[in-house]
Amino acid sequence: MRRRKLLKKRILVTRSSMPPMEEYIDEIKELWESHWLTNMGAKHQELQRKLIEYLGVEQIDLFTNGHMALELSLQALNLPRGSEVITTPFTFASTTHAIVRNGLEPVFCDINLDDFTMDVSKIEDLITDRTSAIMPVHVYGNVCNVEEIERIAHKYGLKVIYDAAHTFGVKYKGKGIASFGDVSCFSFHATKVFNSIEGGAACFKDKDFGLDLYRLKNFGIRGPETVDGVGANAKMNEFCAAMGICNLRHVEEEIEKRKKVVECYREHLSGIDGIQLSPIQENVTQNYAYFPVVFEEKIFGTTRNEVADALEEQGIGARKYFYPLTNAFECFHGKYDPNETPVALHMSKRVLTLPLYADLALDDVEKICEIILKCRN
């Protein structure tokens, strides 16, 4: 009983968006009639069609999760084994692991001090004759400098694969964010702005690449009697696709509600010495995916960890996304040096992502800000 009371009071970093239960039940009724539960069924196809329209992309393929979309997209690019992929360490494990699991070598580029995305002025220095691709991350929903990345990729003949896990629905200069680069991969995980419970998608233009990618997510099968690739199994099932169809109907509403939460945070935390907020990027239609706050201890007087502890004491689960950096992970011990990406290292020690979801009450946002501001010394 006591446990339930405590849990009810906790505010976590996010909470899954869900459609009304009846709407989902209605959507999945057809699955009981058809008995078709997976393997690119009607729901899978319907969600694909709807996402192409919503995201403003040419081609899309759906996956079990965002990680498999990334990992198999990299594989489908057919980069030379052992070649180098320029990426950033300020991200979730998935980005770096997708590179390493493909037998490729991540080369870590530092990030910008303001928006946490790849510092494009450092890319060219990292290019060698072994570089085959760039894999930037639109981290927190902040858009990378896509124009400069495109220019560099074109100049050196490199592929570009965006980790767009955080940028569902984001537009840059009126264009869907996934229309940049050779491939862009979204995550539809339960914690994302748009979810299909678990799920992900790769968006691209090249139809031949799409065929290779499709085969990789389906055991390398080309036809009923032809298996000419060594593939995995990363197909989105019909229940997940049905959840995606329902959530897509409400996503605009959800983003609008998130916007109000973000505005409330900004109202209380802007202009505070020692607190850095993400910039509002020009020409970007945001999705309000995350609300990162950077605490500069020397000015704010309190460390990020102390703020996190103070929030935790009040039942508020802010998270240190993204600490540690991926180039500091134990699994890579001795292989990479996080000191070579000093800005990313600096930010990862100071950033805290505050609770953010559509139904987060503005009273709770105010309470969170009050606790944070009380930490000032």
- Which one, 236 or 300, has the nearer CB to ligand T4K? 236
Task: Reduce the DSSP state of residue 210 to 3 states and report it.
Answer: helix
- Which one, 238 or 300, has the nearer CB to ligand T4K? 238
Per the structure block, which two tokens stand in for 167?
Answer: 């940028």
Draw the binding track, 262-281, toward ligand T4K (x: CB under 6 A; -: no contact): --------------------
Angle at 252 between CA 287 and CA 190, to 5 degrees: 65
Assess 14 for contact with ligand T4K (CB under 6 A): yes
Draw the binding track, 290-319, toward ligand T4K (x: CB under 6 A; -: no contact): ---------------------------x--
Q: Which 50-89 residues touch ligand T4K, going by CB under 6 A? A: 65-67
Of the candidates 237, 189, 236, 206, the one whose C-alpha atom is nearest the C-alpha of residue 63 is 236
Assess 187 for contact with ligand T4K (CB under 6 A): yes
What is the rounded distance in angstroms from the CA atom of residue 302 to the CA atom of residue 310?
A: 11
In the complex, least distance from residue 329 CB atom to ligand T4K, rounded to whole angstroms: 14
Among 165, 255, 354, 372, binds ligand T4K (CB under 6 A): 165
Q: How many CB atoms lie within 10 A of CB 369?
A: 19
Q: Which residue is nearest to ligand T4K (CB)?
A: 66
Cβ(247)–Cβ(186) below 8 Å: no
Assess 92 for contact with ligand T4K (CB under 6 A): yes
Assess 15 for contact with ligand T4K (CB under 6 A): yes
What is the rounded distance in angstroms from the CA atom of residue 182 to the CA atom of residue 85?
A: 14
What is the rounded distance in angstroms from the CA atom of residue 350 to the CA atom of residue 333?
A: 22
Among 94, 184, 196, 341, binds ligand T4K (CB under 6 A): 94
Cβ(186)–Cβ(66) below 8 Å: yes
Cβ(109)–Cβ(118) below 8 Å: yes
Of the candidates 65, 56, 33, 282, the one whose C-alpha atom is nearest the C-alpha of residue 163 is 65
Q: With CB under 6 A as the contact rule, which of the stretches 10-18, 40-48, 168-176, 223-231 interacts with ligand T4K? A: 10-18
In the complex, least distance from residue 261 CB atom to ligand T4K, rounded to whole angstroms: 15
Pairing mode of beta strands 221-223, 226-227? antiparallel
Assess 16 for contact with ligand T4K (CB under 6 A): yes
Assess 163 for contact with ligand T4K (CB under 6 A): yes
- Which one, 89 or 338, has the nearer CB to ligand T4K? 89
DSSP for 303-339? -HHHHHHHHHHTTEE-B-TT-S-GGG-GGGTTT--GG
Assess 189 for contact with ligand T4K (CB under 6 A): yes
- Which one, 67 or 215, has the nearer CB to ligand T4K? 67
What is the rounded distance in angstroms from the CA atom of residue 308 to the CA atom of residue 305?
A: 5
For ligand T4K, the binding residues (CB under 6 A) are 12-16, 65-67, 91-92, 94-95, 137, 163, 165-166, 187, 189-191, 200, 317, 321
